[in-house]
Structures are given as C-alpha cells and as structure tokens.
Structure 1
Amino acid sequence: MSVVRKNENVSRVWSSRIVLNVLSIGLCLCFLVPIISLGQGTQENYQIGAEDVLSITVWDHDDLKRVVTVSADGNFSFPLIGRIKARGLTVGELENKIARLLDKDYIVNPQVTITVQEFKSKKVFILGEVTKPGAYYLSKTDTLLEMISKAGGVTNDAGQEIIIVRPIEGAASQPTSLDSENSQLIRIGLQALLAGNIQKNIEVQDNDTVYVPKASLFSVFGEVGKPGSYPLEHETTILEAISIAGGPTQNADTQKLELLRKEDGVQRKFILNIQQILKAPAGSEELMIRDGDVIYQPRAEFFFVMGEVKKPGTYKLEEGMTVTKAISVAGGFTEKASKGKVKILREENGKQVEHRAKSNELIQPQDIVQVPQSFF
C-alpha cells in the first residue's frame, strides 16, 4: 500500500493553484465574448498601434463605414480624407480627428464611432509554468491576473513568484532573459495575487514578458517521519529540511546525513557530520538547501551486547563506540561477569569470527559483544 504524504506547505501551494485556475476559467469565459462587444467607454483610452483592426462608422452615412488595418507606419486610408495617422492616438482622439476632418469640407457635425475589432499592436509574452505559454495581444488595460488567465492559468509545477520582465524606457527590443541590461524585474507573490491584493494585480504593458518559474523543490528520504518532496519557499538549512520532513525516526543515524546535489551538471554525494553542522556558523552557504537537493537520513547501524551485563540487547552504534562504552551502555557487568574474557563476534567474508576484545577497541556494525560468566 502506497501512502502519499504532503505537508501543509504543499497543500497550500496546490490549493492556491486550484484557486487561480478556477479564476482563470471564469475570466476566460469573459474572453469568449467577441472583442467587438467591448463598450465604447472601455476602448476610448486604448492607444492605437500598428496592425490594429478598426471598425469606423459615421452615423447616417453607411457608405463611409469601413474596417481598416493600421499599417506598419501607423496610417490607414479613409474615404474623402485620404491617409490618416492613427498610431499613438487613443480611440477617442482618433474619433475626434476624423470628425474634424469630415466637418471641415464634407459633413456637418459628423458623429464618428470607432471600435477596435482586433487588438494586434501590443503583445505580452507569457512563459514558464502556464498551461498555454506564448504571445498574447493586449486587448485594453489588462491586468496580470487577466493575462495569466488568457494563458490558461499556472500549472501544478509553478512556484510561488511571478516575474515580469519589463523593457526600460528607450529599450530597442523585447528582453529575452531575466538578466537583460535593458529590462527591469518586477516580482509578484502568487499568494498575494490570489488573496485579492489589488496592488499586486498590476497592469501589464506592451512588450512585457510574464515569467512563471518552476517551483524549487528539495527531497528528503530515509529514516524521517514524512519522506517526500517539499517546496523550497525561502532559505532553508539542511537540518530545517529534516524537521520539515517530520524529523528523524527512532532508527535514524543521528550522527550523519547524506546529501545528493547536482553541481556543473554532475550529481555528487556528500557525507555530512551532524555535529559539525551544529557547530557551523549560522547562515553558512554550504548548509543551505538548493533547488533539486536530495537529503537522505540513513538508518542507524546497530550492535549487540550479550551475556553477563545488566541490560543485554541491541544498541544504536554511535561514533567512537568502544568495547568499554558498549558494556556501559548495556548497564555494566553483572557480579558473575568474567571481565577479562570479553569476546567480539564479527562477520568477516561471510563467516562469523571470534576474537578477544580489547577495552579501547572500536565496535563495528553488527558486532556481538559477548561477556561470559565467571565460574570462580
């Protein structure tokens, strides 16, 4: 029977993603309504750009009704007027401009209405852990949540932060990396966005890149209470990671840990002494968990003490365990013990070999310390 164990952090992260995707569905339903149905007040302040498709109507003059595409140089042609510069003007400003030109020589007090049929001049790139990454057109004053919703919402592998890469003023082109010199980074917490923090749901701008990074994870396995993978949400030490995973079990080796870490594309294994970790300065970089780290809490080795001791049995093998310490752990000798004839039974090459023990001899895993009875 397999048991899937998740800590509260993982549950909270997944719940947040479910909420965002539910919101995404609701918002996406809104986007199914044709763009042409957006109210005039909604579009009035939209700034027109190249490739936008405009529907122009002059009241009571059906012969002047046109659907035009703004050219790359920002112009389009209109009856009676000729070429008109549209790029950089808002919808409301262009309506007034056409009305003035028609009123000048052709129509008395013309009523001009413009609707943006297709928004194609402003793009936002949405990358990373979203359902449908790609380029999306800005339809109006779109917010961060609306743009993520257009991309189908975040995936279950999304992290806790959204990064907006925004070109600085005067930058010539779309930034292509997070460390571009021609861009600024805006970091938005996913939790705050979902919690309804209006300040976090900022407006996106033309040429923004919205990047949803993959969640940073670490894994803890072996003799811990809740083995599994966990989100790396903040600076976490190796011992804190063990605690997050439920702490060591009774059978854990509390003297050492194993760390698997990828460095320069190569997986490396490190054996860590817990006592040295405890003595290390707080905040030591080498003791901080990194994305992809795997920590293994090994099972402790055991030895056995039998015969004339007060508490014969199985004991956890700790570093520096000698024969004298082993007998002390087992309660010491009984009155019948033959103290000078203590033996160790040790497996060597598949066979159990017996030899006379020395008091300062180090115990090895699975050793049997035998204290015989004295007959004198």
Structure 2
Amino acid sequence: MIFSSIQLGLTRFIWSIAFIAVSLFPLVSHADEATYTLRPNDTIRLAVYEEPDLSLQVKILKTGQASFPLIGSVDVGGLTVAAAAAKIRALYAKDYLVDPKLTLTVDEYATEFVSVIGAVKVPGQIPMPVSGNLDIASAMATAGGLTENADPNNLQLQRASGGVISTFSLSSIEGPTGRIRLASGDRIIVNQSAFVGKTVTVMGQVGRPGPLAFPVSGRLDLVKAIAQAGGLTDLANPKKVTINRSGKVILLDFKAISQRGDQPFLLQPDDVVTVAERIF
C-alpha cells in the first residue's frame, strides 16, 4: 500500500510537471517551438490526465475551430499551443473537471504552399520548406522555368494578404528581386506572351513565301523576317520592298536597311511584306 501511494504520488507529480511544461514551453517540433501558432489543418492531440474519454486527436477546421468532448467547438486557430492548452483547460475547469491536467501537442503540421501558375513547365503548388524560407528565384526554379510561350517581362507576384500585384522580369530575379521571400498562399503568375499566335507574311521574291510566326519577345525586324523566309531570290528588287500595315503601304529600300544595320525596321504583327520583282 505504501509503495502504491508513493507510485501514485509520483505519477501525479510527473503529470503536474508535464502540464507546467506544456503551459510554458509547447511541445512542438516546428521551426520555433515557443511561438508556433496553430493554423487550420494542423492536427493536434489532447491528453487529459485520468480522463481517457476526453483524450483525442483532432484536425483544426478552416474556421480555426476544433471540437473536443463536453466543451464542443473551441476557437484555437491563431493561438500558440500554450495559449490553446490554457483555454481548453479553463473550459474544462469551469463546468466539468476539478483542476484538470492536460497536454496539447501538434501531431501533424498543415502543409503550406505557394502557387506558380501560367506559362511555366511545371505549374502548380510548391510546398513551403519547414524553415519557411522560399524566395521567388527558388520557386521559379522548382516550377521548371518558363515555357517557350511565356512573356519573360510579365511575371507577376500576387500576395495572399492582398494589395498591389508586383510585376517583374525573368532577368530581374537573378538580382535582389529573386531574393524576395514568399509567404504561404502567395501566387506567381507567368503570363503568356501577347505575341503568341501572331504572324507576319512575307510575299513576292523570297525563297519561302508565306506566314512567319512572330517571336514571343515581340521583336522582329525586316532583315530577319526576309532571312527566315529564305532570303531574296535572283529576281528580287531589293530597293522596292513594301509593308502593308493595316491598309497603309510603306515603301522601303531593303538594300540600304540591311547595309545600315544599326537602324533596323521593326515589324508588327499582321504586317504583310512584299518583295517586288526586278524589271529588266
């Protein structure tokens, strides 16, 4: 009997110490145990000393609430583990238990994500590292980089917290922009180039007359377009090249433009380039 009493007293002492430890230092193996805040989809475990029917594992709902025996739904989202344990203890002590002793732990942490969508090779959700450190450059690398149809100058960052959408270029993420830290729920949107599906047409005395795909970069000059169309034929008149732009006809000296080099004539989508035939 004496041994049993000592053993029971020791057990009560251990539970008391455990309760104090949970109240002051939550048993959380997360990035920061002392300050971890409970979030929706966290799975928590409640253990109540000498009350096995009250012990359970429960997932926190999107509303931030979790349901417990007798006391029902309790709003624990946004509380630290210690604060949530104290709140639950107070509710049990109020109407059901005398000096309840309990522990509250996190069994499974909700996975946090950022999204990279649009014209990337592997669009979708990217899990946040346990450390919580993820920047734009790393997220873009994880998404496999841009597709051929992406606009490298129109990448957008939409914060989960709302506010203005930031726009940046692919080249800028190699600098300070790439080190911008992301938070759970942030979205990176990679827009498709406005020039996808656009063409110019090269007709007349060229090697391969017909439509040409407009570059997604949005930059195509006359010399490059004629080169892509197979170059001038022997019958071409290089001094008489016309551009039909929405009904307006522009007459150009292709020979002078190609020799000049430093002042290219830039084409626009739907331009029709016609190389005239030489008259003998």
Shorter-normalised TM range = 0.5 to 0.7
Q: Is the contact made by 1:215 and 1:231 (CA closer than 8 Å) also made in structure 2?
A: no
Per the normalisation by structure 2, the TM-score is 0.53
CA distance 1:78–1:149, shift in 2 (3 Å): farther
Structure 1 CA distance for aligned equivalents of residues 142 and 83 of structure 2: 33
Distance, in Å, in 1 between the alignment partners of 2:188 and 2:242 is 39
User: Is 1:159 matched with 2:144?
Assistant: no
8 Å CA contact 1:133–1:151 kept in 2: the answer is: yes
Within 5 A, what are the aligned runs for 1:279-290?
290=268
1:255 and 2:231 correspond: no
Pairs aligned (count)? 219
| Contact residue 224 and residue 245 of structure 1 kept, 8 A | no
Q: Cα–Cα, structure 1 residues 168 and 70, in superposed 2: closer, same or farther, change >3 Å?
A: closer
Structure 2 match to 1:54? 43
Q: Which residue identity lines up with residue 250 of structure 2 in the other structure? A: L
Task: Pick closer, same or farther for the CA change 1:70–1:99 going to 2, 3 Å.
Answer: closer
1:230 deviates by 5.6
> Which residue identity is paired with 2:170?
L
TM-score when scaled to structure 1? 0.42
- 1:212 match: 190
Cα distance in 2, alignment partners of residues 155 and 43 from structure 1:
41
Distance between the aligned counterparts of 1:127 and 1:143, measured in 2?
A: 16
Contact 1:40–1:115 (8 Å) recurs in 2:
no
State the distance in 1 between where 2:201 and 2:32 align: 55
Distance in 2, Cα, partners of 1:245 & 1:43: 62
How far off its partner does 1:76 sit? Answer: 0.7
1 CA distance for matches of 2:38 and 2:73? 15
Measured in 1, the distance between the counterparts of 2:34 and 2:150 equals: 36
Query: What residue number does 1:97 align with?
Result: 83
Alignment of 1:72-91 (within 5 A): 72-78=62-68, 83-89=73-79
Flag structure 2 segments of 5+ consecutive residues without an equivalent.
1-27, 91-98, 257-264
1:224: how far off? 9.2
Query: Using the alignment, how far apart are the partners of 1:252 and 1:39 within structure 2?
Result: 77
Please state if 1:190 is matched with 2:170: yes
Of 97, 106, 109, which residue of structure 2 is paired with 1:114? 106
RMSD across aligned positions (CA)? 4.9
Consecutive unaligned residues of structure 1, counting only runs of 5 or more, are: 1-37, 170-182, 261-267, 279-286, 305-376
Per the alignment, in what secondary structure is the counterpart of residue 31 of structure 2?
Answer: helix
Question: Offset of 1:205 from its aligned partner?
Answer: 4.2
Deviation, 1:243, is 4.3
**Inter-partner Cα distance in structure 1 for 2:75 and 2:36:** 15
Maintained 8 Å contact 2:74/2:88: no
Aligned CA distance change for structure 1 residues 296 and 164 (closer, same or farther; 3 Å): same
